[in-house]
Amino acid sequence: MPNMREIRERIASIQQILKITNAMYLMSSSKLKKARKALDSTEPYFYKLQETIESVLEHTPHTRQLYFDRRSDIPEEKRKKGYIVITADKGLCGSYNHNILKHTEQTLAAAPDIDNCHLFVMGQVGRMYFQRKARNSGAASVDSEFLYTTQNPTIYRAKEIAELVIDKFEKHELDEVYLLYTDMINSNLQEPRTLRLLPFERRHFGKAPDGTMKKLPKASFVPSPEKVMDYLIPNYAKGIIYGAMVEAFCCEQQSRMTAMDAATNSAKDMIKDLSLLYNRARQAAITQEITEVCGGAASLEE
Amino acid sequence: MAKTLHLEIIATDRVFFKGDVEHLVITAIDGLLGILPGHEPLVTSLPTGELKYMVDGEWHYAAISEGFIQVMPDKAVILADSCELPEEIDIKRAEEARERAEEMMRQKQSIREYYETQAALNRAMNRLKISQKHFK
């Protein structure tokens, strides 16, 4: 029979943890509400942006534009690839971090030369993970000055990030830029996803659903198509990054909420089991005492 | 020809306006640009500035920060970082932002930081200007 005091202490400590997980559950559920609201109010912008850029590009005369330049003269193994990875700042959110880190690892493993891979990690957890790995040779390098939090995404943060990667792309420090984030399919289903940010591919745009090229009148661009594209593409990148940030933040809160809810429930189950055990132990102790008293009295009578 | 064009103004945080307007005036890179229904297809970028549109013969004003516009003969779409009505502008906040940006401009900065603060200053000045002009 386990010791009664031990069980009591165990129950007390579980109760403490239960309080914490419950508080975290409540906090993440209110944060989730906020993040959901942000997601809902950005969605129109996000979709309209994609739609408009598509229709703008349909009307655009073919330009030799920097952001469309695929730099096909550089062989595959020499291409410098940048990955923006969005992870959480904190742990305790179920498999959220694990999934996106695993997804990144798989993407990196598929890259022909790991030394040409550069990681731009948002969020403390991912940064620590990849920095630790980067100490060993044969791992992708992590930009240590890329310090952005994933909490409460703002358009200005997205803008800074977009400017940074576009700047690197222009300077030929990067030839390809990818964005890795967690996409929320519905509230129970999340999926890590890779999105190619730069260079832009025209085949994404300008095709009707049946695959034929649309014939449309050319729109006029003020002051010139190149000037407008110079502005439009960074803006598009910014919008995409912001959308991904909002999406990822929402996913993080969702998975933290689910994880903390599960933790709270299992703590409750454990307390229930332990109380049963405790009561049994107490009953056993009482029975034993009675038996002892009875035995003592009986021996006295004789 | 239709007398109105369908205008959509979408900011990153909300749908600012959706409806039919008779006349639209935007601040483009090289000056004011008036758009009437039946305008030729046009795409241009918008710097931080003022925007006005006419609904039922009445002008409505708004402060807009960086975006772009796509005009088609019967519709126009504006996508911007932010868009506010004059009465929504928080003068105190804009004033603070202006002071902060001015202070930053006095410091030695890298070129990128310089452009960022300049943009912040522009936004603050634009908000103040529009709210003083249309909302007293």
Residue A296, classified by CB atoms within 10 Å of its CB into exposed (0-12), middle (13-18) or buried (19+), is: exposed
Per-window interface: A 58-87 vs B, CB < 8 A? 59-60
Determine the straight-line distance between the first and last CA of chain A, rounded to whole angstroms.
Answer: 32
State the pairing for strand pair A117-122/A141-142: parallel
| Confidence (pLDDT) at A92 | 87
**Position A2 confidence tier, pLDDT thresholds 50, 70, 90:** low
**Is 90 exceeded by the pLDDT of residue A271?**
yes
**Residues B82/B64, Cβ–Cβ less than 8 Å:** yes
Bigger pLDDT: A209 vs B34: B34
Q: What is the residue-averaged pLDDT of chain A?
A: 84
Which of helix, strand or coil describes residue A159?
A: helix
Q: Residue B112: is its pLDDT beyond 90? A: no
Q: With bands split at pLDDT 50, 70 and 90, how would you rate the model's confidence at A212?
A: very low
| The pLDDT of residue A63 | 59
Contact between A221 and B33 using a beta-carbon 8 Å cutoff: no
Give the nearest chain A residue to B73 (CA atoms): A219
In percent, the amount of chain A with pLDDT more than 90 equals 35
What was the pLDDT predicted at A214?
Answer: 47
Set of chain B residues whose Cβ sits within 8 Å of the Cβ of A243:
none
Nearest residue, CB atoms, B12 vs list A155, A227, A232? A155
pLDDT at position B4 is 86
Lowest mean pLDDT across A117-131, A196-210, A253-267, B106-120? A196-210
What share of chain B in percent tops pLDDT 70? 98
Task: Record the tokens describing residue A200, joined without a space.
Answer: 């832009």
Q: Identify the residue with better confidence: A289 or A136.
A: A289
Per-residue model confidence (pLDDT) at position A209: 46
Give how far the C-alpha of residue B118 lies from the chain's centroid of Cα atoms, to the nearest Å.
Answer: 17
Question: Rounded to whole angstroms, what are the CA distances from A164 to A86, A143, A198, B45?
Answer: 16, 12, 12, 21
Report CA torsion sign: B113, B119, B120, B125.
positive
Distances (CA, A) of A223 to A12, A226, A229, B7, B44: 71, 9, 11, 22, 7
- The tokens of A7 are what? 């069980």
Q: Residue B126 has which token pair?
A: 């634009």
Kind of pairing between the strands at B42-46 and B49-55: unpaired
- Tell me phi and psi for residue A195, to 5 degrees: -130, 135
Q: Which of A256, A240, A117 minimizes the C-alpha distance to A181?
A: A240
Compute the radius of gyration of chain A from its Cα atoms.
Answer: 29
- The nearest alpha carbon in chain A to B30 belongs to A223
Contact A52 B77 (CB under 8 A): yes
> What is the interface pTM, i.e. ipTM, of the complex?
0.71
Q: Has residue A206 got a pLDDT over 70? A: no
Q: Is A48 in contact with B81 (Cβ distance < 8 A)?
A: no
Nearest Cα neighbor of A122 from A148, A142, A101 is A148
Nearest by CB to B40, which of A160, A220, A223? A220
Question: In the sheet that A117-122 helps form, which strands lie side by side, from edge to edge?
Answer: A141-142, A117-122, A81-86, A176-186, A189-198
Q: Do B43 and A59 touch (CB under 8 A)?
A: yes
Structure tokens that stand for A180 in this block: 């890795």
pLDDT the model gives residue A185: 83
Taking the C-alpha atoms of residue B123 and residue B49, their distance in angstroms, rounded to an integer, is 8
Average pLDDT over residues A179-202: 84
Mean local confidence (pLDDT), B92-101:
87
- Nearest-5° angle of CA B76, CA B82, CA B87? 100
| Domain A23-259: which CATH number of 3.40.1380.10, 3.10.20.30, 3.20.20.150, 3.40.1690.10 | 3.40.1380.10
DSSP A213: B
**Predicted pLDDT of residue A97:** 92
Q: What is the pLDDT of residues B75-90, one digit of tens each?
A: 899 988 888 888 888 8
Query: Between residues B4 and A15, which one has the greater pLDDT?
Result: A15
Judge: A45–B10 Cβ closer than 8 Å, yes or no.
yes
pLDDT tens-digit series, residues A7-42: 999 999 999 999 999 999 999 999 999 988 888 888
Which residue of chain B is at minimal alpha-carbon distance from A239? B12
pLDDT tops 60 at residue A199: yes
For residue A293, what pLDDT is reported? Answer: 94
Average pLDDT of every residue of chain B? 86
Q: Does A211 touch chain B (CB under 8 A)?
A: no
Question: Which two structure tokens, joined as six digits, stand for A261?
Answer: 């809810």
Read off the pLDDT band of A276 (50, 70, 90): very high
Please say if the pLDDT value at position A211 is more than 60. Answer: no
Contact indicator for A109, A133 with CB cutoff of 8 Å: no
Q: State the pLDDT at residue A80.
A: 87
Q: Where are the domains of chain A?
A: 23-259
The reported pTM is 0.81
Q: Is the predicted pLDDT of residue A140 greater than 60, yes or no?
A: yes
Which one is predicted more confidently, B46 or A224?
B46
pLDDT at A93 exceeding the cut of 60: yes
